[in-house]
Amino acid sequence: MEKSVKSNAISLGVILGVILALVTVIAYTMYQGMYTNWMAGIGLSLMIITFGIVSAVKSRKLLGGYIGFKEAFTSYLITVAIGTLIGSAVSILIYVVVDPDAATGINEQVIESTVGFMEKFGAPESEIEKAVAKMEGENQFSLVSQLKGWFYGILVYIIIGLLACLAVKKKEPLY
């Protein structure tokens, strides 16, 4: 892979990481309810995927309009991995090192939100109690939980990236 293509992917990954870090800091300082807002989660996921696709498309332009699947996917993955790693590192720093008590409060909000959601859809009380017991036993902001979350998130983004890069790749004509 050419150096300019790698630097493009790294640059976009750092920009994505800074944006995700800012979102985390804003959520921590101003709006912790964002962690219970499923629309915010979908929006962030779409932004991450968009950055990855933009990286692959820009790489294709840098290579003269033609790019193989491997190069497109590598560009996508570098951008997404760097961006989400920076965002996760900031989250770990805040919720594991600096202020673990904030994580406890957010976990309580998530439990309340989940109970409300389950009641809204008519879930049986026994299922709600099971879900609450499970969630009370977990800390979604612990170091292990956040690392697992990053890993599983990357797996999802890889699957999406594989499909997106099929559309981005463009072979050079043989003539």
Residues 14-42 pLDDT 10s: 999 999 999 999 988 887 677 777 788 89
Question: Into how many domains does the chain fold?
Answer: 1
For residue range 42-85, list pLDDT tens digits in order: 999 999 999 999 999 999 998 888 899 999 999 999 999 999 99
* Cβ-Cβ contacts under 8 Å for 68 (sequence gap 6 or more): 169, 171
pTM: 0.84
Examine the pLDDT at 1 and tell me if it is beyond 70. no
Q: Is residue 175 part of a domain?
A: no
- What is the average pLDDT value for the chain, to the nearest integer? 88
Q: Is residue 85 part of a domain?
A: yes
Q: Is residue 61 part of a domain?
A: yes
Q: Is residue 174 part of a domain?
A: no
Q: Is residue 149 part of a domain?
A: yes
Structure-model confidence comparison of residues 155 and 65, the more confident one: 155
Nearest 5 degrees, angle CA 22-CA 90-CA 54? 60
Which residue range is the domain that position 33 belongs to? 3-168
Q: How far is CA 14 from the centre of its chain?
A: 14
